[in-house]
Structure 1
Amino acid sequence: MKNYKVYICLICKNKKNDQNEFYPFCSKKCRDIDLSKWLNEEYAIEDNIIEQE
């Protein structure tokens, strides 16, 4: 018997198990929405560099 972990899709908030081929998304549609947000620069990675004097 396999143990599956349940996760919540980052886009639509549906619950899925971690054996889903689109993990961490629930579907190709949600995966593509996320990719589109990256490509349209709706997401950004914060730069926390502290300059020393």
Structure 2
Amino acid sequence: MEKLSDFISVDPNIQFGKPVFKGTRVPVQSLFWHLQEGISIHDFLGRFFKCEF
């Protein structure tokens, strides 16, 4: 079973200690901001991560 810590990290030296997606500097909060603005998860991932869909 995967844990939250498999995907999210907190480091005081990255983004002032805010939770980020592991291996990136992308704050988790940015996902919620984008969803609130009506941007799909698919588009969010395309903007911040190199993913193939």
TM-score (norm 1): 0.30
More helix by share: 2
Bigger Rg over Cα:
1
